[in-house]
Structure 1
Amino acid sequence: MTIQTVAHLNFRGNARAVLAFYHAVFGGQQTCVTWGQVYGTTDAVQSELIAWGQVQSDDGFHVMAYDVPPERAWSAGDTPFFVAVTGNDATTLTRYWEGLTVGASIVHPLAPAGFSPLYGMLKDRFGITWVLSLSTSQAVA
């Protein structure tokens, strides 16, 4: 059996902007389906919110997102999760890092670390914490 794990990010009204930003960084295909399209919502504001969206690239990047409807409780929290991107090409990983840094707060700069030849952590302009690392064949003791 094979499974795939995909980060599904929840937002309050800005999922479309989030997906557009990640699409600009990682490329691939972007899909945005509104609450109006899926559920026939007629409220002018809610009908344009994202009920389901994703960005999926040929490189293997995949993230989903939606706008939590106004009647449901939602809080971004402090740091409820990280989105981890691990790859085997430093140039591509650096390109992703540079794209994500726009408007971000750097937690740990992209640099060699004891467990990875290249590692960085940042909180992007939407409050999502990203961890990027270069994979290594060396076991960490």
Structure 2
Amino acid sequence: MSLNAVAHLNFHGQARAALDFYRSVFGGQATVVTYGDFGMPAEAPDAAKVVFGQVAADNGFRVMAYDVPGEERPVAQDTPTTRRENGTTITREPFFLSVRGETVDEVAAVWDRLADGATVIEAFGPAQWAPAFGMLTDRFGVTWILDVAAEYAQA
């Protein structure tokens, strides 16, 4: 038996844009199914919103997303809830998404694309525990940790 955990992100009207962005960052194919595709009348306010969406890439990256029915809410652009202080992470968020690669070059390329429109919490670069590490909150309010696997972690 094999199990996979895949992050399922909840949005309020931004799921399609987020999935398109993540596909541009990580590659792969995006699948988007709307409430209307599942039979909601076209004139209903939520008909064009995403009820099922995912990005799946050959490199193993997977993420799912949907729009919570109801009023659209913009992505919070106020004070970030995560920050780094004296080498520690201070946050009120219940989770981060982590992307780990094998080389600095491959992860740096993903970082550069994901950082477009993001709030950088810690710039991508060498870290005491990894060849490279960085943390940011993307334009959709999702906080990501990107790092390069340390040799001792590749056993």
TM-score (norm 1): 0.89
Q: In the alignment, what sits opposite 1:50?
A: 50
Q: Describe how 1:85-96 pairs up with structure 2 within 5 A.
A: 85-96=99-110
Which residue in the other structure is 2:40 paired with? 41
Question: Matches of 2:14 and 2:52 in 1, distance apart?
Answer: 12
C-alpha distance in 2, partners of 1:44/1:112? 50
| Structure 1 residue aligned with 2:94 | 80
Q: Take 1:89 and 1:59, find their aligned partners in 2: how far apart are those partners? A: 13
1:3 to partner: Cα distance: 1.1
Do structure 1's residue 68 and structure 2's residue 68 form an aligned pair? yes
Deviations along 1:82-137, one digit per CA (max 9) or x if unpaired, are: 11001102222111100011110000100111111100000001110000010012
The residue number in structure 2 matching 1:16 is: 16
Percentage identity across paired residues of the two chains: 47
Q: TM-score, normalised by structure 2?
A: 0.81
Structure 1 stretches of at least 4 aligned residues deviating more than 2 Å after TM superposition: none
Residue 84 of structure 1 aligns to a residue whose secondary structure is strand
* Runs of 5+ consecutive residues of structure 1 not aligned to the other structure: none
How far apart, in 2, do the equivalents of 1:45 and 1:102 lie? 30
- Separation in structure 2 between the aligned mates of residue 92 and residue 109 of structure 1, nearest angstrom: 16
Q: Which runs of 5+ in 2 are unaligned?
A: 82-92
Structure 2 counterpart SS, 1:94: helix
DSSP 3-state at the match of 1:91: helix
2:148 partner amino acid: L
Residue number in structure 1 paired with 2:139 = 125
Q: Which residue of 2 aligns with 1:25?
A: 25
Tell me the distance in 2 between the aligned counterparts of 1:132 and 1:94: 9
User: How far is the alpha carbon of 1:80 from its aligned partner?
Assistant: 3.0
Q: Distance in 1 between matches of 2:50 and 2:61?
A: 20
Give the root-mean-square deviation of aligned CA atoms: 1.9
